[in-house]
Structure 1
Amino acid sequence: MIKDLFLGYKIHEQNLEIYGFHKKENRYEMTKAVLAGDFLLSIAIQDGGVAVEILDAETKESYAPFWVSHLTGSYIGHVREEVMNILLEIRAACFQQENFLYPQTQRMLEQIAIHYQGQLEYLWERLGAQTAYPTGAFRHQESKKWYGVLMTIDWAKLDPQKEGKIELLTLKHDAVPVLLKKEGYYPAYHMNKKYWISVPLNDRLSDQEVWKLMEKSYTLTR
């Protein structure tokens, strides 16, 4: 839900005013129209927290049905979808994820941003499906083809002998059978196992090894 949407994200204050927030004392505020102006989305950011309120545009009263999860239907569904899209846009423009489980994950994202101007895109998020560790893809800027997928999964889905969670980078490669004979490489998770490979970002493979895989995937998917 919305309360989890910004978990593990750090605010970039310099981006808030660029996006359109107005600073009032020690907080940033913004109001946006929703559903052709039928509702107002009020967003307040203060001390690292994000407060969201949905108002009826005519009465200026809180639209309580928005928060009642068992209330469904096309109308309220459209309201929730538009609100979520606005919040995801704000998160992408004004926040940076910092809750990665392993330092190698952050290092790889920094390298991708430097070399390919790539950012992790959260393509599958919808209301009710957000987590503190969402799944995202890296895409070529022009073709929009994927060259990498980052996700957090249970270790046991890769190795029944392991527990806890692991951050996994899935990349395209032209020598998958050869790589799978080595330690630290796994069959692609939720991708075509013939052409893709998954590697945990827990420093089992060096940054140089992972980056070499990234370069190969970037080239193969152009």
Structure 2
Amino acid sequence: MMLEDEIFRKYTVDWNLLVSYGFIKEEKGYRYVTNQVPGFKMIVFVFKDGHVKGTIWDTALDEEYVNYRIESQNGTFVSEIREAYIALLKDIRVHCFKETPFVSKQANRIAQKILEGYQVSPEFLWKRDPLSGVFRHPKNGKWFGIIQHIKADKLKNKAQGFIDILNVKLDEQCAAKIVEPGFYPAYHMNKKSWISVCLDDTVSDEVVMDVIRQSYIINSPDPYWLIPANANYYDMIHIFDDTDITLWKQSVPMYENDIVFLYVSSPYSSIFYQCEIVEANLDHVFENENIHMQKAMRLKLKKRYDISEFALERLKEYGIKSVRGPRHVPKALVKLLEE
């Protein structure tokens, strides 16, 4: 990798700052020239696509000096030239560039769109792989996207250089997507559930964001809960007579906007209410001989059911044999409860 590519790998140019630094605008970009090392002229060029290229010119010999690019050349003189050039590039980076999370323009655009749409920023989890960023679902921490910087030939046969890719989970949709340009069997992930997308503008941002949306949904926690209420401890008949809000014990991870169906125990053994969680994970310590509470949530009444409508005998038809603690609700039953 060229020195310039390494130093500016995760940076994008701020064009407004180049001129103030001393760059001269030309047809193909911006040029900066300095004679800070006696006998040598250092030239840095920023092309219109943001790519940076540099040369060092030996003014005495009137030819390009290249020894500083040869790693095996480590004598005192060449090392001084190399260090001075690297220091110049880093100074330009500080004053004219801004850091970005990823290498490619499309990867950075997609990261910004994910932030705007889902309020999720990438997490860089591996010191040995600082260019791989994971996007986690805010409710359960599951990965719904991973952007990685890999050798291009890992996906494209005989391709040169490096590329940014996005891994998303599409489950059974993988087979259909894999035939489309820019989509490949997942790199370093389960190929039955995940797929890789090249972030080299082969696939439009709109299509990339659509597969991200699908992956986000697939990785979302089930928002429908069936929670038991002991009729001996709570007045479940009148609990919502004077208000549509109640404070309720929360014993498992749940989130705002999740839907809770309150199942009242014997002698009723039936679902009484449908509620929405309006606040979750509240610190609320309460104890008596029957109730032990550390966390609570606020439930807002959405719907009442006839006491006999969703009794346990009917729930058994959907695989619910008992309700001893919070549990998810089968989709077929949710459909009925929502009608």
Q: How big is the shift at 1:183?
A: 1.6
Aligned residue in 2 for 1:147: 144
Aligned residue in 2 for 1:158: 155
Aligned residue in 2 for 1:137: 134
Q: Which has the higher strand share?
A: 2
**Any runs of at least 4 consecutive aligned residues in structure 1 with deviations exceeding 4 A, and if so which?**
none
Aligned residue in 2 for 1:215: 213
Residue 170 (structure 2) pairs with residue 173 (structure 1): yes
Deviations 1:90-141 (A, max 9, x none): xxxxxx842743221111111100111110001222xxx255xx21200012
Alignment-mate amino acid for residue 186 of structure 1: Y
| Greater RCO, 1 or 2 (C-alpha within 8 Å, sep 6+) | 1
Q: How big is the shift at 1:197?
A: 0.6
Provide the secondary structure at the position in 2 that maps to 1:161. Answer: coil
Q: Which has the higher helix share?
A: 1
Q: How big is the shift at 1:142?
A: 2.4
Could you say what the CA RMSD is over the residues aligned between the two structures, in angstroms?
A: 2.4
Alignment-mate amino acid for residue 166 of structure 1: I
TM-score (norm: length of structure 2): 0.36
| C-alpha distance in structure 1 between counterparts of 2:9 and 2:186, whole Å | 28
TM-score (norm: length of structure 1): 0.53
Task: Indicate how the Cα distance of structure 1 residues 7 and 157 shifts in structure 2: closer, same or farther if over 3 A, else same.
Answer: closer
Task: Indicate how the Cα distance of structure 1 residues 97 and 221 shifts in structure 2: closer, same or farther if over 3 A, else same.
Answer: farther
- Equivalent residue pairs, number: 129
Give 5+ residue unaligned stretches, structure 1: 11-95
Aligned residue in 2 for 1:8: 10
Aligned residue in 2 for 1:105: 107
Alignment-mate amino acid for residue 218 of structure 2: L
Aligned residue in 1 for 2:124: 122
Aligned residue in 1 for 2:24: none
| C-alpha distance in structure 2 between counterparts of 1:8 and 1:180, whole Å | 29
Task: Indicate how the Cα distance of structure 1 residues 99 and 195 shifts in structure 2: closer, same or farther if over 3 A, else same.
Answer: closer
Aligned residue in 2 for 1:198: 196
Provide the secondary structure at the position in 1 that maps to 2:134. Answer: strand
Alignment-mate amino acid for residue 117 of structure 2: H
Aligned residue in 2 for 1:188: 186
Higher CA-based Rg: 2
